[in-house]
Amino acid sequence: MFDLTEEQQAIVEMVRDFATASIAPNAVEWDQAKHFPVDVLAQAGELGMGGVYVREDFGGSGMSRLDAALIFEELAKADPTISAYISIHNMVAWMIDEFGNEGQRAAWLPGLCSMETLASYALTEPGVGSDAGALITRAVRDGDDYVLNGTKQFISGAGSSGVYVVMARTADTGSAGITAFIVQDGVEGLSFGPLEKKMGWNAQPTRQVVFENMRIPAGNRLGEEGSGFGIAMKGLNGGRVNIGACSLGGGQAALDKSIAYLKERSAFGAPLIGQQALLFQIADMQTELESARTMVWRAADALERGTKDTVRLCAMAKLVATDAGFNAANTALQLHGGYGYLADYGIEKIVRDLRVHQILEGSNEIMRLIIGRLAVER
């Protein structure tokens, strides 16, 4: 499993060529201008990145979870923000593919897989972050429709997406009372808060999503009533592997920039790359990233095969990879000295972008809680 097949090598090369040409040269500018490059996302869709592990009958690429991890890592070497958004989009497409009926799959997947239609995932709420089972957005059945009321927080792509998978409460039975819905942009009663002012991830919009007596057909329900929490958690298993891969890409880019900089920069009469103390830091960065990569690949394989260890391994992969990626980026900034603090070198952007990876898709504290509880139960 640790040697890529010829097909996987070709996938990585294709994504690298695309990311190097279309994303990397613009990453700093997009960050500073807070520009969401929907045209470039459409190009990614044309290359099969809109439905990486969606079945092929409605436009998906039918790839494996390991293939997806390779893709997101390579994209993140160019820009973690764009890679992370594409990973979220893929999670939504997979949810519709996996849990939707044939009519829903036919209606939504072709546009999502081509990325002509963008997607957002609406789970988190104000005051309800890690405790997703306590969400209060409510959906009430009214004849052939559901009426939704509530607010979602920290929603990537909000205001630009055409499709939202929304988790809402249909019964007062804790996590068992949550149901998933597909919401199309433009529905009366759907609105958005102002753009959030963020530390990083500036090249993708983040807003509140607000539902005010929003009426949608019952046919937009994804799965059965009460199955939404299970759908959300299964989606997050994949999301954790994906965001881990995005962290690896950002961390690897920071490491590569550091090696190039230390080779070029001289101090005290010799290139910095010859300083043993600095070489030790490079070695630690490389080792942490490679260890985390192994964990991400193992979790991706477990997720693909549906093994009994999937939840535990996905939590471990997310924890290890997001910490390793951020540590590599933060060390890279220190190795660059004052230049690392300047936007032109791209290091400070990677630091800002990767910091949120330790929070989203379940904070790393929650990952430790999951891992610890499962260890005690074994």
Catalytic residue numbers read 361
Question: How many Cβ atoms are within 10 Å of 318's Cβ, its own excluded?
Answer: 34
CA–CA distance, 183 with 152 (Å, rounded to integer): 13
CA–CA distance, 256 with 207 (Å, rounded to integer): 33
Cα atoms found within 13 Å of the Cα of residue 269, Cβ hemisphere only: 0
CA–CA distance, 324 with 251 (Å, rounded to integer): 7
**Across 163-204, where does the E strand assignment appear?**
163-169, 178-184, 190-192
CA–CA distance, 5 with 1 (Å, rounded to integer): 9
* H or E stretch at 119: strand 119-122
Specify the amino acid at residue 50: G
CA–CA distance, 48 with 45 (Å, rounded to integer): 5
Q: In a 3-state reduction of DSSP, which class is residue 361?
A: coil
CA–CA distance, 170 with 224 (Å, rounded to integer): 11
